[in-house]
Amino acid sequence: MTSFGLALRPGQSIFDQLVSAAQKAILSGELIEGQAFPSVRALAADLKIHPNTAHKAVQYLIHERWLEMRPGIGTVVASAPHTLGEMRHQLMQHEIAALIAEARRLGLSADELKRAIDAGWGKTAATVEVGQ
């Protein structure tokens, strides 16, 4: 199993899931700067995915400066190239785009979507407070 606990879900691209899981693990501190990142071969074997998909995801994470290649060591978690806020914003862009696409598919207006988010946010906040 990968060090960041990715369990693939049907209905979303494997590439997107892998990139998102790695980004979330870095943001949460589960993967830290300088820590070795699983090799393409290890990711492909652990997740039972095509090596080209694993390679594409790793190359994307390197390009976006979440990971870096170190000669003689391999791929490691990079030092944060952005502020934490910028990294969180970047990470949420995919989820936001998917939410908007689904809302449009269902025929919701932007105002209806905003109200649904506000209502969901309120419920989540109440649940967190009760659970503490």
**Domain limits at 45?**
14-77
Quick one: 71 and 99 in the same domain? Answer: no
Quick one: 29 and 50 in the same domain? Answer: yes
Confirm whether 120 is domain-assigned.
yes
Quick one: 71 and 19 in the same domain? Answer: yes
Contacts of 107 (CB under 8 A, 6+ apart): none
Pairing type for strands 74-77 and 67-70 reads antiparallel
Averaged over 36-62, what is the pLDDT? 95
pLDDT digits (tens, 9 = 90+) for 105-131: 999 999 999 999 998 888 776 655 555
Number of domains in the chain: 2
pLDDT reported for residue 2: 62
Quick one: 58 and 110 in the same domain? Answer: no
pLDDT reported for residue 3: 60
Confirm whether 5 is domain-assigned.
no
Contacts of 88 (CB under 8 A, 6+ apart): 27
Distance between CA atoms of residues 99 and 103, nearest Å: 6
Quick one: 68 and 117 in the same domain? Answer: no
Asked whether 30 and 104 are in contact (CB, 8 A), the reply is: no
Quick one: 29 and 48 in the same domain? Answer: yes
